[in-house]
Structure 1
Amino acid sequence: MTVKPIHLQICGLVSQRWSWKPRTVSSLSSFSPIPYPNPYSKLLPTNTVARRVRFAPFHASSSPLPSAGIVRNIKFCQWCGGSTKHDIPEGEERLRAICTVCGKIAYQNPKMVVGCLIEHDNKVLLCKRSIQPSHGLWTLPAGYLEIGESAVEGAIRETREEANADVEVISPFAQLDIPLIGQSYMIFLAKLKKHHFSPGPESSACQLFST
């Protein structure tokens, strides 16, 4: 089955139309191939997805705009349970929740989402979500990184959970920041260890799509 273009969502949260052909451009300007040296590049055929998919270049602003991300209104201290006040700590520029009892500051940091772009026989493995958000949409297997695991370990675990597939990570593929929802995505290029996959609890179907 060939889908050109195909409607994807990474972890069911980022909607974007990707066309699996040369010079594909994503409207998400921050989504770009990671400029890391890839020791496996000579092992990748010239027709692999990693070589064919192109994204818009990343342009960093010299004067970053204020974040429009969602910030929770923290009312109580997570350490002692005391009430908090919202103020700008000395030496900082953002409002923080500061405990009025123990004085500790509650920092809110982005969530890390990890996943795999899995290629097998010039096809890409996608999962169809069976739960919200984005029920019924096709996605890359991805999810939140857990405490105590590396980004690669998390991507492999999420792939196993959502597609019942064992994969070998080849290299970093792309990195995407979404300040609006406080998330940062790390996607790895991977390959199947065995030609076996099936829907996990969060997927209604898994399928290889021609590129």
Structure 2
Amino acid sequence: MSPLLRYYAALLLRSQRWLPPVLLYVGLVAISLDGQSLLGSQLGWNAAVLVPALAWLTRSLLAAEPPAARACLAAATGTRRPQYAALVVALCVGLSLVAVATAVSLPICRASENLPSVLGNGLATGLVCALTGSALGAAGSPPLVRTTAGAAGGLVVGSVLLLVVSASPANAAVRDAFSSDGADPRFPLVPLLVALPLAAACWWASARAADRVGAATGQEGG
């Protein structure tokens, strides 16, 4: 698995497809850092804007590989492992982004007296939103969604729904983060327990679809 992870990390770096989603995330975080926000609210914002950015990044990586290169990988390692490796690389980039945003926010934002709890809750919220954004990206990427127009529309609509619908784990976690500057900070345990199986299900569906495409391609080639 390690060679696959290195391969997809290098592919993402060389293709420069990481630039638009990363710049989107950096820009959205930067415009909110005015020095007046409370730390909990800022960490909630940092996590919320990760959902569309990471979904886009995931789609960019899964669509960056030429079909011939993916066929060679599938022949050498199987059809599912490359899909999982690409999803892991994109998720790690998303977690790194929210960690850097947290480090930048600490000296700028006003912290409450519950700094350890606020910081822990904020990082957990970032994890929830990273898992949610990864799930959306997996569901909106090849081989489940092949067309760019369909993927763009699905990612935009999906991001909005995940952030505004109260039943969404991302929405619930962000709401908890915005209220964590109070006297009783709330850890987003339930959103985290929902986001984990959601991401796992979307990753499995993506890998399963890659398996089917690989099998169909093999039959055509035979």
Higher-strand-fraction structure: 1
Structure having greater relative contact order (Cα 8 Å, sep ≥ 6): 2
Pairwise TM-score range, normalised by the shorter structure: under 0.3
The alignment's TM-score, normalised by the length of structure 1, stands at 0.25
Higher-helix-fraction structure: 2
Q: Give 1 or 2 for the bigger CA radius of gyration.
A: 1
